[in-house]
Amino acid sequence: MVEVGDAYDPIAVEAKWQKRWDQEGTYNVDPGDPRPKSYVLCMYPYPSGPAHQGHVRNYTFGDLNVRYRTMKGEAVLSPFGFDSFGLPAENAAIKTGIHPRTFTDARIEELKTSVKSLGAMYDWRREIRSHDPSYMRWVQWIFLRFYNAGLAYRAEAPVNWCPGCKTVLANEQVLADGTCERSGDVVERRTLKQWFLRITAYADQLLDALDGLDWPERVKTMQRNWIGRSEGAQFELVVQGKDDVKLEVFTTRPDTGFGVTFAVLAPEHPLVDTLTTEDHREEVEVLRSEAARQSDLDRQSGHGDLGKAGAFTGSYVINPFNGEPVPVYVADYVLMGYGTGAIMAVPAEDERDWAFAKAHGLPIVRTTEPPDGFGDHPYGGNGRKTNSGFMNGMGVAEAKEAALDWLESNGLGERKVNFRLRDWLVSRQRYWGCPIPVVHCPSCGVVGVAEEDLPVLAPDDVEFLPTGESPLASHEGFKKVSCPSCSGPAERETDTLDTFVDSSWYFLRFCDPWNDQAPFSIEAAEEWMPVDQYIGGIEHAILHLLYARFFTRALSDLGIAPGGLKEPFARLFTQGMIRMGGTKMSKSKGNLIAPSKYLETVGADALRLSQLSLAPPADDVDWTSQTEEMIEGWAKWTQRVWRLATGEAGSGVVRPEGENDGDTELRRATHRAINKVTSDMDRWSYNTATAALRELTNAAYIHLGKGVGEEALSEAVDSLLLMLAPMAPHLAAEAWERRHGEHIHTKPWPIADPELARDQKVTLIVQVNGKVRDRIEVDPAIGHQEAEALALASERARAHMGDAEPAKVVVRPPRLVNIVVPAG
RNA sequence: GCCCGGGUGGCGGAAUGGUAGACGCGGUGGACUCAAAAUCCAUUGUCCUUGCGGGCGUGCGGGUUCGAAUCCCGCCCCGGGCACCA
């Protein structure tokens, strides 16, 4: 009978196995492993202290994949590291005076401890910390290679300055409403000399290669929109009376050329001064200073207003299509940063131009015939060309081609592809980041630090003050240096790199983290890359995932990574967020439910099972009081499994000679569960996989109550434990050890016997006019005629047929017969 | 405005053309117990009916089909992304 006191003790058992896995290096992998290789990776975290529920969810999915693949016979690379540069550590330093390194190392230890107590297994020998000099050295080395290859450059540019973070931001870090994604402050525009990485050189490749990636469609769409490719024509407009001045414009609608009734310059356009005549100078100046004063946010808030701000320059350009002069305006709805910063305006076929034309009383000429009764609106759709000279009568697509050919053959312009994507601004005026390894020499200009002098490390003796300048800029010892080229006095660059640079190649370093000759060897990268399964949050859909793709391509092209390696992540899974009360659960929202609360009571396995069962992995989860009750439920279930596994579940075991019907039923339940769980694991349907394990447990208990043979019961329990091993690894390991004295995690994943999984009988549904009227137990091999005869003989079905003869009988053996009788 | 998701019991969710609501949380009833906890069993969409049984039911309105949560058309609502990108 049940021994009181032998209840499953998750706390003791989990500690025991975590220690053992660690010591035995169960999940360490080395070069030359003969097993098929795979690489499973969770996005390395910023260390902000103990793990939160989002981490738990992430690492539960990751660990499940690692352990499942291991049981399937693969050598799985499963590394862990820390994205350990970043603003919070430096802000803490400004507030408390604690050095960012001290602060960060403490946070890393906290996170590492809680990750370990989750029972997630990693090859800790490969751990990476971005702020470790051995990692920084290669970040800087790669930066210099990029610089030498022209992929990193310095330029003066209007940049996004966040007054809260006291640094510039990449375009990707500015939200649609013009605020900083990190601090929420309204971003200002400043003009500074900054470092950029030439991601636009890869715009085409980054876009095209998306098609071949096994990624969520949603993420691919977001990247496509972000890259924003558009095809069209670029051509020159001659300024009337000033033959030497030409205005370049870009359009995706060259077919509308005859409908151009004005042209517009961005306020920052270099030709504004030249084109503005004296009598219009004042209004143009007013508009320009307004635009300059406004933040992006203000400028965008005018979007949609009918009154579009704009001023006439007094100049005219010639429309090359029809030779007519059209007025040139300056308006803030045209952006300097896209295309040429100037447009040909076609009000009839463009909403924005329409609004501007209406506001300023400019003519509107349709070049595409809208559908009948379309009304007084701009029409951007397809239709017959009209008022368009050589294009008249054509459709839009045909006319576009004709217009492009015409522009090119007359030497007026050319086909051109434009991207919305801009180069990646990587300079940050901060201390706690990787220093940009260059020196500014008054005679040699920008000179890269010599390879043997890497890494450039920031000094520790700096003052952390909220000045808006990197503490490095005021550290004379760091700043003053002799030029690596001419040995003359020079100044070190004091900006540091965006932390997204660190995270753009860490997955490559994981393949070969001990290498001190190169960031990683080609062989190691060839052995493990690409990552077979990458797992992380949707919030990185654009930033990190796009930068990492760019880095992989660039490193491959520079011969640093394998030539054939173009994409870092073959398969991506983006998990849902954990929300509470409608908002994302996070430290800044102050609504954290610390996982430690559960790890210290019900244990990691119950918490992991809850995360798996709560919702489909890709869905957002609302944390409610019910969630807590579900965790309790899983804790009870682990006890239920434990009793089953240790033979304490009941006294109903009988040992009859041979196999009886109950045994057959339980065996069928077992093999069906194996099929179900295996396919659910493969399609990331973990919530239904846990349900199938519950069902199998219930079946075992029911048969135990009725009396069941030892063999059938053992098969059920052993299969259950094997399938549980990737989900609740500690419970599975302990129970398996008790039963077999072996290590469960080196056992193979169970395979179902199709014969045993097969149904002995199935329920034949008898419908009359599509409504279920009877259920009959039949042999799965039942034939068409037999099924039909059985259904037509059904009393219950006949009762609903009246006197009518069946008009039709749909027979789908062995599951369904539908008898159709005429209405009435 | 445009582009993606999604809408199913009290709740989380299951079912991708064939028994709607698997599995769980919560509820109700029972067994065990001096009692409680734990455990085990049963029950739980809704309405009508003592019961047998029947009607209704997957956001709303149509359609296709022998048969629709599932496919098609039109709406409504919720979530996310993009948004003056020429």
What HEC string does A483-507 produce?
CCCCCCEEEECCCEECHHHHCCCHH
Q: Is A358 helix (H, G, I), strand (E, B) or coil?
A: helix
Count Cβ atoms below 10 Å from residue A640 Cβ, excluding itself: 17
Alpha carbons A445 and A125: distance in angstroms, whole number: 42
Residues 368-397 of A with CB under 7 A from strand B: none
Residue A434 Cα distances to A109, A495, A548, A573, angstroms:
21, 9, 17, 29
- Mean pLDDT within A310-315: 92
Give bridge partners of residue A230 from the DSSP assignment.
Answer: A418
- Mean pLDDT within A647-668: 72
Which nucleotides of strand B lie within 7 A of protein CB?
3-5, 10-15, 18-20, 22-26, 38-42, 54-55, 66-68, 79-86
CA→C1' distance for A804 and B50 (Å): 33
pLDDT at A123: 95
Contacts of A624 (CB under 8 A, 6+ apart): A580
Q: A25, A100, A83: which is closest to A540 by C-alpha?
A: A83
Scanning the structure block, which residue is given the tokens 């029409």?
Answer: A379
Is-contact A56 A94, C-beta < 8 A? no
Calculate the CA A383 to chain-centre distance. 39
A622 CB inside 7 Å of strand B: yes
Contacts of A369 (CB under 8 A, 6+ apart): A383, A384, A385, A386
Alpha carbons A581 and A599: distance in angstroms, whole number: 23
Q: Angle, nearest 10°, between helix axes A661-682 and A686-706?
A: 170
- Mean pLDDT within A683-708: 91
| C-alpha dihedral, A596 to A601 to A605 to A610, nearest 10° | -80
Alpha carbons A102 and A92: distance in angstroms, whole number: 11
pLDDT at A299: 55
A613 CB inside 7 Å of strand B: yes
Most confident of A296-305, A472-481, A713-722: A713-722
- Mean pLDDT within A479-498: 92
Residue A628 Cα distances to A289, A434, A695, angstroms:
57, 42, 22
- Mean pLDDT within A698-707: 86
A16 backbone dihedrals φ, ψ, rounded to 5° = -60, -50
Look up residue A185 and give its two tokens.
């402050």
| Minimum CA–C1' distance nucleotide for A765 | B19
pLDDT at A222: 87
Mean pLDDT of chain A: 89
Lowest mean pLDDT among A78-82, A195-199, A427-431: A427-431
Above 50 in pLDDT, residue A515? yes
Is-contact A585 A611, C-beta < 8 A? no
pLDDT at A161: 80
A765 CB inside 7 Å of strand B: yes
Look up residue A484 and give its two tokens.
């690596």
Q: Is the peptide bond before A814 cis (omega within 30 degrees of 0)?
A: yes
Q: Is A650 helix (H, G, I), strand (E, B) or coil?
A: coil
Look up residue A683 and give its two tokens.
């399609």
Alpha carbons A2 and A408: distance in angstroms, whole number: 89
How many Cα atoms are found within 13 Å in the side-chain-facing hemisphere of A308? 24
Alpha carbons A644 and A702: distance in angstroms, whole number: 12
Lowest mean pLDDT among A45-49, A690-694, A761-765: A761-765
Above 70 in pLDDT, residue A482? yes
Count Cβ atoms below 10 Å from residue A647 Cβ, excluding itself: 17
Most confident of A23-27, A273-277, A334-338: A273-277
Alpha carbons A726 and A737: distance in angstroms, whole number: 16
pLDDT at A706: 79
Higher pLDDT, A671 or A463: A671
Give bridge partners of residue A817 from the DSSP assignment.
Answer: A766, A811
Q: Report pTM.
A: 0.91
Above 90 in pLDDT, residue A378? no
Interface confidence (ipTM) of the complex: 0.94
CA→C1' distance for A606 and B2 (Å): 44
Q: Per 3-state DSSP, what percentage of chain A is helix, strand, and coil (rounded to 5)?
A: 40, 20, 40
Show the CA angle centred on residue A216, arms to residues A200 and A688, nearest 5°. 160
- Mean pLDDT within A529-535: 95
Higher pLDDT, A301 or A350: A350
Show the CA angle centred on residue A566, arms to residues A551 and A556, nearest 5°. 60
How many Cα atoms are found within 13 Å in the side-chain-facing hemisphere of A2? 12
- Mean pLDDT within A678-696: 95
| Minimum CA–C1' distance nucleotide for A226 | B82
Is-contact A547 A199, C-beta < 8 A? yes
The pLDDT-based confidence of A293 (bands split at 50, 70, 90) is low
pLDDT cut 70: percent of chain A above it: 93
Above 80 in pLDDT, residue A457? yes
A640 CB inside 7 Å of strand B: yes
Tens digit of pLDDT for each residue in A499-508? 999 999 999 9
Alpha carbons A425 and A660: distance in angstroms, whole number: 72
Give bridge partners of residue A167 from the DSSP assignment.
Answer: A162
Above 70 in pLDDT, residue A652? no
Q: A243, A384, A424, A369: which is closest to A317 by C-alpha?
A: A243
Tens digit of pLDDT for each residue in A548-572? 999 999 999 999 999 999 999 999 9
Is-contact A709 A654, C-beta < 8 A? yes
A253 CB inside 7 Å of strand B: yes
Q: Which residue is nearest to nucleotide B19 (CA to C1')?
A: A765
Residues 671-730 of A with CB under 7 A from strand B: 685, 687-688, 690-691, 694-695, 698, 701-702, 705
Above 80 in pLDDT, residue A238? yes
A802: left (phi over 0), alpha (psi -120 to 50) or beta: left
Alpha carbons A438 and A427: distance in angstroms, whole number: 12
| Minimum CA–C1' distance nucleotide for A775 | B19
Q: Which residue is nearest to nucleotide B18 (CA to C1')?
A: A816
Lowest mean pLDDT among A193-207, A300-314, A605-619: A300-314
Residues 529-558 of A with CB under 7 A from strand B: 538, 542
Lowest mean pLDDT among A60-69, A222-231, A299-308: A299-308
Look up residue A106 and give its two tokens.
């403490």
Look up residue A680 and give its two tokens.
């659910």
Above 60 in pLDDT, residue A429? yes
